[in-house]
Amino acid sequence: MKKLILASHNPNKAIEVMRILKGNYSIQTLNQAEIHQEIPEPYNSLEENASQKSRFIFQLTGEDCFGEDTGLEVKSLGGEPGVRSARYAGEHAVSEQNIQKLLDSLGDNPARDARFRTVVSLILGGKEFQFQGTCEGTITYRPIGSKGFGYDSVFMPDGAEKTFAEMSGNEKDLFSHRRKALEKMAAFLENFDFH
Ligand code: IMP
């Protein structure tokens, strides 16, 4: 079974990645690989940050690996918080603070179209490949639901009548940006000639 290190310290992401890639890959978390360094995310685009994550782990281990960066892009806020989603309300902000800042920024504005965008960076034999997945939806007027993580409780995907935070993991995967990006990576790996 193909082994890949997941270049993320985020346990919520690891759960989703494991669920989506199921039994087809042997995914090693950074904890399992005994890598405890912070991975910097210094750039102004999801593409560059995703790349930085996988390259950082490849430089440490020399192993095939993948990382991802995700942002919530709100149309009427000019794409904000975007690449700054994790730090929207400040450098060490927690999700509740980021959500509050988002709801404050939107106020009563009815223009609440948004999308999640995930960029996955895969490093195979030292070469990098990127895959993108998006999920269109709207920002609710208040948090609803208690599952999931990050901005899940204020994001309702198009075609659903509940937020990500009201959905089971499998339901979220039906819509999710992360699932779409990872399935593209999986399809690519299926066809990759490892010889
Ligand atoms: P990062 O990709 O770890 O930098 O995450 C960026 C920000 O988006 C963090 O605040 C995450 O909590 C949030 N985030 C990432 N993925 C999701 C998701 O699938 N649902 C809700 N929030 C997310």
How far apart, in Å, are the Cα atoms of 118 and each of 109, 114, 125, 145, 193? Answer: 26, 13, 23, 22, 25
Taking alpha carbons only, the member of 50, 71, 193, 23 closest to residue 123 is 50
Count other Cβ atoms within 10 Å, centred on residue 94: 10
Question: Which atom of ligand 1 approaches the CA of 164 most closely?
Answer: 20
Q: Is the pLDDT of residue 120 over 80?
A: yes
User: What's the pTM?
Assistant: 0.96
State yes or no: is 108 an active-site residue.
no
pLDDT tens by residue, 92-119: 999 999 999 999 999 999 999 999 999 9
The finding on whether 69 has its CB within 6 A of some atom of ligand 1 is: yes
Q: Report residue 192's pLDDT band, with 50, 70 and 90 as the boundaries.
A: confident
Cα gap 109→105, rounded to integer Å:
9
Torsion of CA 95, 101, 103, 105, to 10 degrees: -150
Which sign does the torsion angle of CA 188, 83, 109, 163 carry?
positive
Mean pLDDT of the chain: 95
Question: Which atom of ligand 1 approaches the CA of 13 most closely?
Answer: 16
pLDDT recorded at residue 146 = 97
pLDDT mean over 70-98: 97
Q: Report residue 42's pLDDT band, with 50, 70 and 90 as the boundaries.
A: confident
Cα gap 40→133, rounded to integer Å:
22
pLDDT recorded at residue 23 = 78
The domain ranges of the chain are 2-191
Start-to-end Cα distance in the chain: 15
Q: Report residue 22's pLDDT band, with 50, 70 and 90 as the boundaries.
A: confident
Q: Is 3.30.565.10 the CATH classification of the domain at 2-191? A: no
How far apart, in Å, are the Cα atoms of 139 and each of 35, 46, 77, 123? Answer: 36, 21, 12, 34
Report the separation in Å between the CA atom of 195 and the middle of ligand 1, taken as the mean of its atom positions: 36
The finding on whether 70 has its CB within 6 A of some atom of ligand 1 is: yes
Report the separation in Å between the CA atom of 179 and the middle of ligand 1, taken as the mean of its atom positions: 14
> Which of 70, 132, 176 for mutating ligand 1's site (highest number of atoms within 8 Å of CB)?
70
